[in-house]
Amino acid sequence: MKVQLFTIRIASSHFSADQQALNDFLQQIKFVKSDTHFVESTEEPHWSVLLHYESNPQAKENSITVEEADLTPGSLYVLECLKQWRTDKAETLNIPKFMVCHNSELISIAFHHPKNKEALGSIKGFGAKKIEKFGDEIIEVLNAL
């Protein structure tokens, strides 16, 4: 088991970035447990988060940044189909497209072409909630191609 310490500063100028760093890390590992403590300091009060985790080889495998230039012509077609699905879904839900999926997520899906919802979970940005909400439809689009 490994450990990693995070500091989540309370000041609004740092809070979002610190929290995003923690969330990004959690996407890449297998969570075991955490210990949190509030540190009162006259300089800068913050939360101290100690994470106990195990390596997640599957997450590391797909965490390599894939860019659109890395896609084959077939994968570019898959990407265009996924973008059309995202546009339609965003219009249906009346939300911005990025709230459905970011471009980087769609590029990773087109590159890795997951076969089921479990494999979709290895794509960076896809946690349990997003898979529950959109996983079946994404796999449906992929299987239709």
What does the pLDDT read at residue 15?
Answer: 85
Short-list 84, 12, 6, CA closest to 47 = 6
Position with higher pLDDT, 101 vs 25 = 101
Q: What percent of the chain has pLDDT over 70?
A: 94
Domain ranges for the chain, please list them. 2-55, 62-144
Three state DSSP letters for the chain: CEEEEEEEECCHHHHHHHHHHHHHHHHHEEEEEEEEEEECCCCCCEEEEEEEEEECHHHHHHCCCCCHHHCCHHHHHHHHHHHHHHHHHHHHHCCCHHHCCCHHHHHHHHHHCCCCHHHHCCCCCCCHHHHHHHHHHHHHHHHHC
What does the pLDDT read at residue 60?
Answer: 42
Position 14 pLDDT exceeds 90: no
Total-model pTM = 0.58
Residues 61-113 pLDDT 10s: 445 678 888 888 889 999 999 999 999 999 999 999 999 999 999 999 998 89
What does the pLDDT read at residue 63?
Answer: 52
Domain topology for 62-144: DNA polymerase; domain 1 (1.10.150)
**Separation between Cα atoms, residue 3 and residue 50, nearest integer Å:** 7
Position 32 pLDDT exceeds 80: yes
What does the pLDDT read at residue 135?
Answer: 95
Handedness of CA 104, 128, 130, 9 (dihedral sign): negative
